[in-house]
Structure 1
Amino acid sequence: MGLDKSTVSRSLHSTDSAFCTVLNNIHFPWGPQEQIAVKEGFYKLSGFPKVLGAVDGTFIPIRRPPIVEEAAFVCRKGYHAVNVQAICDSSLRFTNVVVKWLGSTHDSLIWSNCSIATKMVQQARDGWLLGDSGYACRPWLLTPFTEPQTRPQERYNSTHTRTRNTIERPFGVLKARFRCLHKSSGCLWFSPDRCSVVIMACFKLHNYCITKGVQVPPGDVLEEAEAETNTPPAPRQCVDGNTARQNLVNERFS
C-alpha cells in the first residue's frame, strides 16, 4: 500500500492497545446465574457436572528476545515463546487469559500464581475447573486419574477428557483466525511486552467474533495432539483434591 514499515508498526501497536482497552469481554463466571449457564453448557457436552471452565496453556511463538534471559523463553518444543494460560466455556469463549509468562514456565506454576486460583480457594464455590495431568488435583481443579483402578474411574476419565478437550478447540480457532499466533506462520517479531499486547488483543477479538457469530475460518489448527504428547509428569497431588474427585466418581460414575 506504499506505507513505510515503521508507520504500519506504530499503527498496529496503537490499534492493538485500543482493542485491549475498549474490548472488556473476558470475564470469569463468578455470578450465580452466569455459573448456572456455564455448567449447563458443559453438562450438555458429555454429562460432566458442575464444570465452570476448562484450563490449559498454549505456546505463542515470538522472535528471540535480545536480552540476557532469552533462554528462559525457550519452551519445551524448542522455540522462543510466551506461555499463555486460558480458561474457556463450552461456547469456545475465553473467560480468563494470562499473558505474561515465559515459554519455559510450567503450566502448574502459572496456575498457582493466577488470580482465579486464589479466588477459587478463598470464596465459596459450587463447581470446579477441569485440567490435564500437568496440574495438581484440587477440590476446585479436577484432573484425570493417572492410573484408573476401577470402571467408574475409567468412565470418569473418559468423560473428563471429552469435556476438558473443549479448551483445545478455541485455541485452534484462535490461531486459525490470527495466523500470526501459530508456529506455521513463523513468530511475532516484537519485544516480549509488545507481543503480550498483540496476543491479548487477538484473544479479545476472538471473543468478539463469538459474540457476533463470525464464521470460523476453514482449516482449524488442532492443538490437542501436540499438547498431549508433551504433557510433563503430574505434580504432587492434594489429598483434599483426590477425595473430592473420588467422591464425584462414587456419586456420578459408579
Structure 2
Amino acid sequence: MRFNDVVSRWPGSANDAGIFDNCGLKRHLELNDVGMLLGDSGYPLRHYLMTPVLRPQGRQQTAYNVAHARGRVVVERAFGLLKSRFRCLHKTGGCLMFSPDKCAQIVTACIHLHNLCLDRYVPMPGTVLRQDGQDMDQQQLAVPAPNHSGVLHRNILINRY
C-alpha cells in the first residue's frame, strides 16, 4: 500500500501509458531483467509490463486474467486509501485551487505523508482499532499494439500458471 515513486509533473488529463513511456523506470526495465509490472489494458504489453488478455480463450487465459486482476486491485486500493486519507485529492472535493506547480507539491506531500502514516501505523480516518489491534472500518468503503516479446512472456506466464 506504499508508494515507491512519485512523478507529479503531468496534468491529470495525461494518459498513464504516455507518462510511463517517458519515465526512467521504463528505460530501467527495458535494459535490466529485474521483474515485471502489472498494467491495465490501457498500457502496451511488453516483456516487463504484463496486461490482461483482452479476449481470453480457455481456462488458462481466464485464470491469468483473474490472477492479474488480484494483483492490480492492490494498486487501486492504495490510490483509494491515499484519496480517503487526503480528501483534497478525491474528485468529490472538486479541484485544488492552486497553480499546477503547487498542486504537484501538494500531491507529492500527501503521498509522502501517506507512507509515513503507514510506517507509524496511523489508522485511517473513520477507522476504529479493535481490542486485538486490527482495523475495523466503520464504513464500506487507446492502446499501442503489444510487441512480440510481451506476447511471448505473457503466454509463458499463462502456461506456467
TM bin (shorter chain): 0.7 to 0.9
Partner of 2:104 in structure 1?
196
SS of residue paired to 2:37: strand
Write out the 4+ residue segments of structure 1 that deviate beyond 3 Å after TM superposition: 219-222
Deviations, residues 57-114 of structure 1 (Å, cap 9, x unaligned): xxxxxxxxxxxxxxxxxxxxxxxxxxxxxxxxxxx01111211112222111001101
**Normalising by structure 1, what TM-score?**
0.56
Q: 178-187 or 149-158: which moved more?
A: 178-187
Aligned-pair CA distance for 1:220: 7.5
The 5-angstrom pairing of residues 143-158 of structure 1 reads: 143-158=51-66
Structure of greater relative contact order (alpha carbons < 8 Å, 6+ residues apart): 2
Cα gap change, 1:188 to 1:237, in 2 (>3 Å): same
Identity of aligned residues (%): 45
- How far residue 234 of structure 1 moved from its aligned partner, in angstroms, is 3.1
- Work out whether 1:185 is the aligned partner of 2:99: no
Q: Are residue 103 (structure 1) and residue 12 (structure 2) matched?
A: yes
Residues 1:164 and 1:158: Cα distance change in structure 2 (over 3 Å): same
Aligned to 1:162: 70
2:39 pairs, out of 114, 119, 131, with 131
Q: Which AA in structure 2 matches 1:106?
A: N
With normalisation by structure 2, the TM-score equals 0.87
Structure 2 unaligned runs (5+)?
127-137
TM-align CA RMSD: 1.6
1:1-254 alignment runs, 5 A limit? 92-125=1-34, 127-218=35-126, 233-252=142-161
| CA distance 1:220–1:161, shift in 2 (3 Å) | farther
In the comparison of the two structures, how many residue pairs are matched?
150
Point out the structure with the larger strand share.
Answer: 1
Residue aligned with 2:29, SS? helix
Q: Which runs of 5+ in 1 are unaligned?
A: 1-91, 223-232
When structure 1 is superposed on structure 2, of 96-105 and 239-248 the one drifting more is: 96-105
8 Å contact 1:93–1:210 — kept in the other structure? yes
Q: In structure 1, what residue type is equivalent to 2:150?
A: G
